[in-house]
Structure 1
Amino acid sequence: MDLVKLHEICDLKNGFAFKSKDYVDSSNTLSCRMSSIRPGGNFDLEHNKRFLPDDFVELYSDYLLEEGDIVIAMTDLAGDPKILGVPTIVRTNGKNLLQNQRVGKLIVKDNSKVHIPFLQYALNRPINKSYYKKFAGGGLQINVGKKEILNNSIPLPPLNTQKKIAAILDEADKLHQLDKQLIEKYDALTQSFFLDMFGDPVANPKGWEHKPLVKITSKIGSGSTPRGGKESYREEGISLIRSLNIYDNKFKYKNLAHISDEQANKLKNVIVEENDVLFNITGASICRSTIVPNDVLPARVNQHVSILRPLINKLNPLFLNHFLISENVKNQLLGVGSGGGAIMQAITKKQLTDLEVIIPPIELQNQFAERVQAIEAQKAQAQQSLQKSEELFNSLLQKAFKGELI
């Protein structure tokens, strides 16, 4: 399958640098930011959405996006880029969308030669992540420009073949998305149980007792990165849990680091124990929280992750975790944590220790935990199905661009 440079078939238009003071509480006009582009290439307007005044549509008409446009993220975190170079097809959902800075709009030069859904799949191949990673300059972010993006290469078969490939991949992706949606429904069900049983944990309409987190935990603390950084990590050894492993109610094993016994001894103040809640305190993944899985122990944490160890007779770990990931608590914490700046947000240890936590009777917390465990058992089955559908999709994707699918 012939390769072409992207600049041969596309141009790229940069977005506009809207300012934070431009945002309003509500309107029919949204800023299409990098947060709208999700890992894997999904487009999600609801994720961290920001509204702009409706009269901006006329003022900035050059940046108005249309249904079916293809946009691409031009910035990401250097340590673990998830969306850099990832293309997505715009879905307006009846809203006006204005293209923000660091979101590039790809403009196809000749629609008789390029099928946009195929273009999205071609640009979303794993090889692209490797291509963009080489532009990392040692800072916290990778920024790529128009030249770097348009210098990328993609396979480009005849238009009819592009359409057939895209149709097959669309069907495989539907199965994959259904599995993801089922898992999201299980997560939503858990949060619904939490709110039904305990109410809004910030407003506390049920009048539960509440205390600062420090009063109901035996440990709150983060670690550090061993001397030598990534180069000192090992294939096996003591787990070193980093922020990229922590997601809301989920632990990602990919890129789990390991360190030697000697390195681990220098971090003996942050030994992770069974049922510890792990909470991200800095960076773009700030405020993500999960319970450590037993199969990564023994473990330590680095400076971006805090261990929260609840007093079991006061606070069930599952309850604490779902308290932390509930929408209103997360919003409250993000309000606290935004003071560290646009690139590296941070929550200090004092801010964590002072966090007021509702304390329903432990028996009620334990009932909630039992319900959660039952849901998690069903969710585990859905995750197995998701893994199989991902493997199928990736296999078809690989075959498609080797010329083995059509």
Structure 2
Amino acid sequence: MSDSGWSATSWGDIATLKYGKSLRDYKEGRGQTEVFGTNGPVGWTDSGPLAIGPRPIVGRKGAYRGVHLARGPFWVIDTAYWLKPGPALDPTWAYYKLLTLDINGMDSGSAIPSLAKAQFEGVPLDLPPMREQRRIAYVLSAFDELIETNRRIAEAALEVGRASFSQLAARSLDLAKLSDVTTKIGSGATPRGGKDVYQEEGTSFIRSQNVYDGQFSYDGLARISDGAADALSGVAVLSGDVLVNITGESVARTALVPNRALPARVSQHVAIIRADAAVLDYRFLMLALLSAPIKGHLNGLSTAGATRRALTKAHLGETRIPMPPLAEQRRVSRVLEAIGELGDELADLTRTRDELLPLLMSGQVRVSEDVAVA
């Protein structure tokens, strides 16, 4: 044990990485049990849970393997693991510690990028005493609770917008193909060198993990150099662009790019849809893509005849959306202005938490013993 009271151990000595299990009946919306995959939440099920949170979720398969925290009853599908802590490990502290690891740099060498259980369990770990773990988790959780509150308010504003869209769409007889009312539909690309070119500062590189329905997540937002960004100039993101996930478990998730994230490029798993401002309001476009009929249509296309869910440029371009007069579109979408303001607050909170995270987890900054935790 060091002078700081922290002890040297390994993940395998204090926790067990458990495999997820396949599940077919999960769905969008709410249910009794939240379902997680390699990129995070993928839906809900009314089936019983694998376990009760808080428990960290660790991605197992895919080029991007995320770390998330299940706070209540949860299920993990077979593309991810969940971490069962031993008595010396606080599960919420473990989640924050996992965020400091390069999970995607741990690769089994198989054809599909994946995390090997044995490799992970051998990773060394400096472990604080339990009470200090809980104090650290308390401080970081306070930031995440503020972030979550802002997200819930943004979700409420989004629901108002979706309801208003549905009412307007019910009265609108005019439909238009997206290819006729947009100036760009196209997916991104991977920078030369892949994740090895990611850096602390630079142009945003938006991946599917950043795109949620109606919300942009700054968690894990990658940055690339000016040179790498110039090489991807053809997939530059502009203010007002709508982003749609087009592959994998999160297919059809849709959000607006926030101005705070610009300049930006997108990965091959995300499509840019750019509204023709003369006929289509970009916020109305997002509401259209989030509406139940159109989202259901896109989800259906993504599974047709494919082993992996995917949407193509043709799928998106042929999709039809209601086209009321532009003034009516703007009236309906005005409520989404509040989401943009909340997004700025979320960006500030997320940045502060991310700057504090490695300092706390390394012991460079210590939480006062006066902080009361259970």
- Shorter chain as denominator, the TM-score bin is 0.7 to 0.9
Q: Which residue of 2 aligns with 1:214?
A: 179
- Asked if 1:2 corresponds to 2:26, the answer is no
Secondary structure of the residue aligned to 1:205 is helix
1:185-236 deviation digits (Å, cap 9, x = unpaired): 23223322223322178xx433452222122223323354466656688999
Matches within 5 A, 1:197-276: 197-199=164-166, 204-225=169-190, 243=208, 246-247=211-212, 248-250=214-216, 252=218, 254-258=221-225, 260=227, 264=231, 268=234, 272-276=237-241
Residue 336 of structure 1 pairs with residue 287 of structure 2: no
Tell which deviates more after alignment, 166-175 or 307-316: 166-175
Contact 1:221/1:349, CA 8 A, preserved across alignment: yes
CA distance 1:261–1:357, shift in 2 (3 Å): same
- Match of 1:384, as an amino acid? D
Match of 1:352 among 312, 316, 333: 316
Partner of 1:91: 72
1:153 counterpart (119, 124, 130): 124
Contact (CA 8 Å) 1:245, 1:256: kept in 2 or not? no
* Alignment CA distance shift 1:296-1:180 (3 Å): closer
Deviations 1:16-69 (A, max 9, x none): x4463xx489xxx9777543994xxxxx7xx512344xxxx8xxxxxx745468
Q: Is 1:188 matched up with 2:134?
A: no
| CA spacing shift, 1:105–1:224, aligned 2, 3 Å | closer
- Amino acid of the structure 2 residue aligned with 1:4: T
Match of residue 41 from structure 1: none
Q: Mind listing any 5+ residue stretches in structure 2 that lack a counterpart?
A: 1-5, 370-374
1:323–1:399: structure 2 CA closer, same or farther, 3 Å change rule? Answer: farther
CA distance in 2, matches of 1:239, 1:67: 35
* Structure 2 residue 84 is matched with structure 1 residue 106: yes
SS class of match (2:44): coil
Distance 1:280 1:71 in 2: 24
Q: How does 1:252-401 map to 2 (within 5 A)?
A: 252=218, 254-258=221-225, 260=227, 264=231, 268=234, 272-293=237-258, 301=266, 303-326=268-291, 329-339=294-304, 341=306, 344-381=308-345, 383-388=347-352, 391-392=355-356, 395-399=359-363
In structure 1, stretches of 5+ residues that fail to align are 39-43, 58-63
Q: Which amino acid aligns with 2:66?
A: K
| Amino acid corresponding to residue 169 of structure 1 in structure 2 | I
> Using the alignment, how far apart are the partners of 1:99 and 1:293 within structure 2?
30
The whole-number CA distance in structure 1 between the counterparts of 2:181 and 2:108 is: 42
Q: 1:41-60 alignment to 2 at 5 Å?
A: 47-52=42-47
User: Which residue matches 2:66?
Assistant: 82
Cα contact 2:39–2:65 (8 A) shared by 1: no
Percent identity between matched residues is: 23
Instruction: Give the one of 19, 34, 37 matched to 1:35.
Output: 37
Quote the residue 1:60 is aligned against. Answer: none
Look up the equivalent residue of 1:362 and give its one-letter code. Answer: L
The normalised TM-score by structure 1 is 0.69
- The residue that corresponds to 2:101 in the other structure is 129
Contact residue 26 and residue 44 of structure 2 kept, 8 A? no
Aligned residue number for residue 132 of structure 2: 165
Letter in 2 for 1:190: A
8 Å Cα contact 1:186-1:379 kept in structure 2: no
> How many residues in Structure 1 have an aligned counterpart in Structure 2?
359
| Change in 2 beyond 3 A, CA 1:263/1:131 | closer
Q: Is the 8 A contact 2:106 2:119 kept in 1?
A: no
Query: Could you tell me whether the CA contact under 8 Å between 2:58 and 2:65 is conserved in 1?
Result: no
Q: What whole-Å deviation, never above 9, does each CA across 1:342-366 have from its counterpart, x for those lacking one?
A: 5x43111221111121122211222
SS at match of 1:278: strand
Contact 2:260–2:344, Cα closer than 8 Å, also in 1:
no
Equivalent residue letter for 1:373:
E
What is the CA-CA distance between 1:375 and the residue it aligns to? 4.5
